[in-house]
């Protein structure tokens, strides 16, 4: 696998364009299974996860066409085969593959899927997905590595209440409910902007959905969904990552194709760290004016709380910031995988359970580190940007899953960074 080599010490400055949201693209691509007519998606990011979801849909017989320099994707699933076992190798590496469950049950009344894999961030079970779909009339048989779901008659709308908000669970039930008979009411639904993006795309296909973005979503099932042409929202986690990278290096950046309304809590924390933020229609800018950030406390929570997907990046910033900080991870267990490498680079972090305590002001030193999880890898890139000397981040497969052209975008902002292809791949 490729490596990234970073010479630390550059102050990030300039303008770049944010890509479309990975976490919107994946469920929306799965939603293409709900219609026999073509779905056209714009603002598509070039990412390994998107390639994998495409591959998964193509393995099932979907027709996939790109246009507009690969920025637009047309998915046509009129002739898919519902043979779950064909999905196995891909499904084990990407948790989002499980998002085809709701659509397959809605369209075919049957689904056989491998249990999902993904980042190494805790157990990430799918029990809430299965309980919610059971309420709509699905019976499940659970094996060691796969799940088989069957609908006896047809999916029936029902009252569904999640114990905790789950993004994927809300998306799966939403995609099943749009073709169920009658009304489904989802309580304690995830409120993430990506859930809203999916709901808007489903509405464009003809679904009847109310309340997406709130804790209660109501769906009135329809008989069929049609074609649509939909542009994905900008990636809010990519936006936040570049803002934190700029703040950590004392820099100033302007991010185009970004939506400030989706990163309010991240912007507030960056203001606490001493950054000046400004926003407008389709852009966000940050100016740190050469200053060292102040450390900020963080406690992750479902949206609109502080995103767990931004925790690792703030941990890297807090390592070099002035002052001490406390980071509490409330969404996933085992999401401090990045702290070990940050400590090897000189950070002072003590982890206990779901809490990390940092003593800021560290001088980070370049090291050879390994990318183990998507956002953990982003934190190592940020650390490498401010470290003394050279940092090599090995196995950057995880970064390529979620950050489009990261080295090009960072180079445009003045970073010294290059990709080193793995020679052994030939």
> Which are the catalytic amino acids?
119
| Residue 30 parent element (H or E) | helix 22-31
Q: Does 161 bind ligand UD1 (CB under 6 A)?
A: no
Edge to edge, the sheet with strand 276-280 lists: 13-17, 252-256, 283-287, 276-280
Residue nearest to ligand UD1 (CB): 168
Residue where the block lists tokens 């009135």: 220
Choices 125-133, 146-154, 207-215, 362-370 (CB under 6 A): range interacting with ligand UD1: 125-133
Residue where the block lists tokens 């799966």: 172
Q: Does 23 bind ligand UD1 (CB under 6 A)?
A: yes
CB-based contact 214:187 (threshold 8 Å) = no
Q: Does 127 bind ligand UD1 (CB under 6 A)?
A: yes
Instruction: Please report how close the Cβ of residue 289 comes to ligand UD1 at its closest, in angstroms.
Output: 32
- Tell me the C-alpha distance between 310 and 382, whole Å: 12
Choices 150-158, 166-174, 253-261, 314-322 (CB under 6 A): range interacting with ligand UD1: 166-174
Instruction: Please report how close the Cβ of residue 100 comes to ligand UD1 at its closest, in angstroms.
Output: 12
Task: Name which of 80 and 198 has its Cβ closer to ligand UD1.
Answer: 198
Choices 68-76, 163-171, 257-265, 389-397 (CB under 6 A): range interacting with ligand UD1: 163-171
Strands in 189-337 per DSSP E: 208-210, 216-220, 228-231, 252-256, 276-280, 283-287, 298-299, 324-328
- Tell me the C-alpha distance between 315 and 349, whole Å: 9
Choices 67-75, 161-169, 248-256, 410-418 (CB under 6 A): range interacting with ligand UD1: 161-169
Give the residue, chosen from 6, 12, 128, 253, that forms a contact with ligand UD1 under the rule CB under 6 A: 128
β-bridge pairing 416-420 and 13-17: unpaired
Q: Does 125 bind ligand UD1 (CB under 6 A)?
A: yes
Give the residue, chosen from 26, 155, 212, 298, that forms a contact with ligand UD1 under the rule CB under 6 A: 26
> What is the x/- site pattern for ligand UD1, positions 70-109, by CB under 6 A?
-------------------------xx-------------
Query: Residue ranges of the alpha helices (H) in 295-336?
Result: 311-320
Task: Name which of 122 and 323 has its Cβ closer to ligand UD1.
Answer: 122
- Tell me the C-alpha distance between 271 and 243, whole Å: 11
- Please name which of 292, 280, 278 lies closest in space to residue 247, comparing C-alpha atoms: 292
Instruction: Please report how close the Cβ of residue 203 comes to ligand UD1 at its closest, in angstroms.
Output: 19
CB-based contact 263:240 (threshold 8 Å) = yes
β-bridge pairing 183-187 and 146-151: unpaired
CB-based contact 190:217 (threshold 8 Å) = no
| Residue 76 parent element (H or E) | strand 72-76
CB-based contact 155:181 (threshold 8 Å) = yes
Q: Does 124 bind ligand UD1 (CB under 6 A)?
A: yes
Choices 64-72, 122-130, 201-209, 284-292 (CB under 6 A): range interacting with ligand UD1: 122-130
- Other Cβ atoms closer than 10 A to 221: 21
Q: Does 308 bind ligand UD1 (CB under 6 A)?
A: yes
Q: Does 339 bind ligand UD1 (CB under 6 A)?
A: no
CB-based contact 121:337 (threshold 8 Å) = yes
Choices 82-90, 165-173, 248-256, 413-421 (CB under 6 A): range interacting with ligand UD1: 165-173
Instruction: Please report how close the Cβ of residue 116 comes to ligand UD1 at its closest, in angstroms.
Output: 8
Q: Does 304 bind ligand UD1 (CB under 6 A)?
A: no
CB-based contact 397:371 (threshold 8 Å) = yes
Task: Name which of 145 and 420 has its Cβ closer to ligand UD1.
Answer: 145
Instruction: Please report how close the Cβ of residue 422 comes to ligand UD1 at its closest, in angstroms.
Output: 26
- Tell me the C-alpha distance between 39 and 62, whole Å: 11
Number of residues that bind ligand UD1 (CB under 6 A): 23
Q: Does 166 bind ligand UD1 (CB under 6 A)?
A: yes
Instruction: Please report how close the Cβ of residue 284 comes to ligand UD1 at its closest, in angstroms.
Output: 20
- Tell me the C-alpha distance between 111 and 98, whole Å: 11
Question: Is the C-alpha dihedral spanning 140, 143, 145, 148 positive or negative?
Answer: negative
Task: Name which of 99 and 247 has its Cβ closer to ligand UD1.
Answer: 99
For residues 2-21, which are near ligand UD1 according to CB under 6 A?
none
β-bridge pairing 208-210 and 39-42: unpaired
For residues 176-235, which are near ligand UD1 according to CB under 6 A?
190, 194
Q: Where on the chain is the footprint of ligand UD1 (CB under 6 A)?
A: 23, 26, 95-96, 122-129, 164, 166-169, 190, 194, 308-309, 331-332
């Amino acid at each position: 696998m490729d490596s990234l080599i970073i010479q630390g010490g550059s102050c990030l400055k300039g303008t770049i364009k944010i890509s479309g949201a990975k976490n919107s693209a994946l469920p929306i691509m799965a939603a293409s299974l709900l219609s026999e007519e073509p779905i056209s998606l714009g603002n598509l990011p070039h990412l390994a996860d998107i390639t994998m979801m495409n591959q998964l849909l193509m393995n099932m017989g979907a027709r996939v066409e790109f246009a507009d320099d690969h920025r637009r994707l047309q998915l046509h699933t009129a002739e898919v085969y519902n043979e779950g076992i064909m999905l196995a190798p891909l499904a084990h590496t990407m948790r989002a593959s499980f998002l085809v469950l709701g659509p397959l049950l809605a369209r075919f009344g049957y689904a056989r899927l491998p249990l999902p894999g993904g980042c190494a961030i805790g157990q990430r079970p799918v029990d809430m997905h299965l309980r919610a779909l059971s309420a709509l009339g699905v019976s499940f048989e659970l094996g060691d590595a796969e799940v088989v779901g069957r609908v006896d008659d047809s999916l029936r709308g029902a009252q569904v209440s999640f114990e905790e908000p789950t993004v994927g669970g809300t998306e799966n039930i939403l995609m099943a409910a749009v073709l169920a008979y009658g009304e489904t009411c989802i309580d304690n639904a995830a409120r993430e902007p990506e859930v809203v993006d999916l709901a808007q795309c489903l509405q464009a296909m003809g679904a009847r959905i109310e309340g997406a973005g709130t804790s209660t979503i109501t769906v009135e099932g329809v008989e069929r969904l049609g074609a649509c042409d939909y542009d994905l929202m900008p990636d809010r986690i990519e936006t936040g990552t570049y803002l934190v990278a700029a703040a950590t290096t004392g820099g100033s950046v302007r991010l185009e194709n970004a939506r400030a309304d989706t990163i309010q809590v991240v912007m507030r924390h960056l203001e606490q760290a001493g950054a000046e933020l400004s926003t407008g229609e389709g852009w966000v800018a940050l100016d740190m004016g050469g200053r060292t950030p102040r450390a900020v406390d963080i406690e992750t929570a479902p949206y609109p709380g502080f995103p767990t997907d931004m925790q690792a990046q703030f941990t890297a910033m807090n390592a070099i910031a002035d002052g001490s900080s406390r980071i509490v991870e409330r969404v996933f267990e085992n999401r401090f995988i990045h702290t070990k490498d940050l400590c090897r680079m000189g950070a002072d972090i003590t982890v206990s359970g779901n809490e990390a305590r940092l003593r800021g002001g560290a001088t980070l030193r370049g090291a050879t580190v390994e990318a183990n999880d998507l956002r953990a890898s982003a934190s190592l890139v940020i650390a490498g940007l401010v470290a003394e000397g050279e940092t090599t981040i090995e196995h950057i497969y995880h970064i390529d899953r979620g950050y489009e052209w990261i080295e090009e975008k960072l180079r445009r902002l003045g970073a010294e960074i290059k990709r080193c292809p793995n020679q052994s791949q030939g």
